[in-house]
A = this chain, B = another copy of it.
Amino acid sequence: MVNIAVMGYGVVGSGVVEVIRKNSVSISKKAGQEIRVKKILDIRDFPDSPERDLFTKNPDEIFDDPSIGIVVETIGGIGAAYEFTKKALSKGKNVVTSNKELVATHGPELLKLAKENGVNYLFEASVGGGIPIIRPLNRCLAANEIHSIIGILNGTTNYILTQMKRQGKDFDEALKEAQQKGYAEADPTADIEGHDACRKIAILSSIAYNEFVDYKKIHTEGIKKISLADMKYAESMDSTIKLVAISEKIGDGIMARVAPAIVSSKSPLYSVEDVFNAIVVRGDAIGEVMFYGPGAGKLPTASAVVADVIEIVKHWGTCGSYNWVVKDGGNVIDLKETRTRYFVRLKVENEAEAKKAVENAFGNVEWVKAYDASVQDELAFVTSCVLEKDYCNSLQQLKGSKAVKDVVNAIRVLD
């Protein structure tokens, strides 16, 4: 029998206890031995919980109990979670977590500490909720050189964009609805500004390219600026708009960004709607594979945590953790030096002159018709694939033209 302790009895933590209890027979069978929750750490009281006898407010009861071999950290954040994880690993306990912030911030240190102590630090649940992605990326695609990862990694923003597309709601309205349905938090900043997706693509990239990718170096834009008109333009191009997290190995560096993007109906990401997540992985042997499923939620996330626990029990004593090399000077390529196509909308004074100005600034572009007769004094186009720095220069030049009154919006096009 293996004893585990759960630190933090919130949504995910209580889900972990529930899944282990509910499926104990089949879980024990797959793990090769019984898995028992021995202690639960939480500062709150749960007098009515069927688990009430397992609760403690004192973490040392867990650290100092040599019979506890695995600690599930579902506290979140990088305060207590960080300290407790370090302590647990130092005490020779395996740690499993769903805490993307902690992994993205202190991953290299914690993985090193795990290795030194001959234990595992696993975090399948930190990305994509219940979708199996970290182990498949590391194990099932191990024969591949991974070229790129493209993902819809945040359910909240995907829900908002889906509502804008389907119901014709504007951003504020769709956000409000997401909050009412519990898909967005009262303070939705981390989701809608792209910070959540940024941490997740940093973790996936670190696994895929086998070197630490610092999330602070990743260019990140949210979806606040996306309007209903942008969405309608996208639809008229047989496309939609998604918050896309992307990373690509280019030479010795890594291109990575989180930003809204025009996604064609030909992309497998196009039909990923509502709160679902999906991750497309491209490798040299496999070509392209996609993983799709619920990106959050109590039981899906718990499912991923418990799978890590089973993995540790099954391969007890063997250390399967990753080794994230931290490169001096970093490895994330300056976004300005990367290439993309841009969809650009302009308010114009004189259409003919504005078109000339656009072609002066950008060379050949693909003109996009207004999605509707009501759209007045606008020009829209898609640039060729250009360096971001050249795009910025061209845009600057365009802004100087008298024929152009304003740049309404500019959104990258996913190729």
Write the residues of chain A forming the contact surface with B, with a CB cutoff of 8 angstroms: 15, 19-20, 22-23, 26-27, 29-31, 124, 130-132, 135-136, 138-145, 210, 268, 270-271, 283-294, 297, 299-300, 302-307, 309-311, 314-315, 318, 320
Which B residues touch A140, using CB under 8 A? 124, 132, 135-136, 304, 307
The answer to whether B287 touches A297, judged by C-beta atoms less than 8 angstroms apart, is yes
The answer to whether A302 touches B285, judged by C-beta atoms less than 8 angstroms apart, is yes
Which B residues touch A136, using CB under 8 A? 132, 135-136, 140
The answer to whether A299 touches B318, judged by C-beta atoms less than 8 angstroms apart, is no
- Distance, CA A288 to CA B299, complexed state (A): 11
Which B residues touch A286, using CB under 8 A? 130, 293-294, 299-300, 303
- Distance, CA A131 to CA B281, complexed state (A): 11
Specify the chain B residue showing the minimal Cβ separation from A297. B287
Which 3 pairs, one residue from A and one from B, show the smallest C-beta to C-beta distance?
A132-B140, A289-B293, A143-B306
The answer to whether A285 touches B299, judged by C-beta atoms less than 8 angstroms apart, is yes
The answer, among B15, B29, B283, B311, for a CB contact under 8 Å with A303, is B283
The answer, among B31, B143, B294, for a CB contact under 8 Å with A307, is B143
- Distance, CA A393 to CA B252, complexed state (A): 67
- With contacts A141-B303, A303-B283, A310-B143 known, is A289 near B22, CB below 8 A? no
User: What is the CB-to-nearest-CB distance from A327 to chain B, in angstroms, rounded to a whole number?
Assistant: 16
- 24 interchain pairs, CB-CB under 8 A: A20-B143, A23-B143, A23-B284, A30-B142, A130-B289, A132-B136, A132-B140, A135-B136, A135-B140, A141-B307, A143-B302, A143-B303, A143-B306, A268-B292, A285-B299, A286-B294, A286-B300, A286-B303, A287-B297, A288-B293, A289-B291, A291-B292, A292-B292, A315-B315
- With contacts A27-B142, A139-B307, A140-B135 known, is A284 near B315, CB below 8 A? no
- Distance, CA A288 to CA B291, complexed state (A): 11
Specify the chain B residue showing the minimal Cβ separation from A136. B132
Specify the chain B residue showing the minimal Cβ separation from A294. B287
The answer to whether A285 touches B310, judged by C-beta atoms less than 8 angstroms apart, is no
Which B residues touch A132, using CB under 8 A? 132, 136, 139-141, 289
Q: A142-B306, A290-B291, A315-B315 are in contact. List 16 more A-B contacts (CB 8 A).
A: A15-B285, A22-B284, A27-B143, A132-B141, A135-B135, A139-B307, A139-B311, A140-B304, A142-B307, A143-B306, A143-B310, A285-B299, A285-B300, A288-B294, A289-B294, A315-B318
User: What is the CB-to-nearest-CB distance from A201 to chain B, in angstroms, rounded to a whole number?
Assistant: 19
The answer to whether B320 touches A314, judged by C-beta atoms less than 8 angstroms apart, is yes
Which B residues touch A291, using CB under 8 A? 289-292
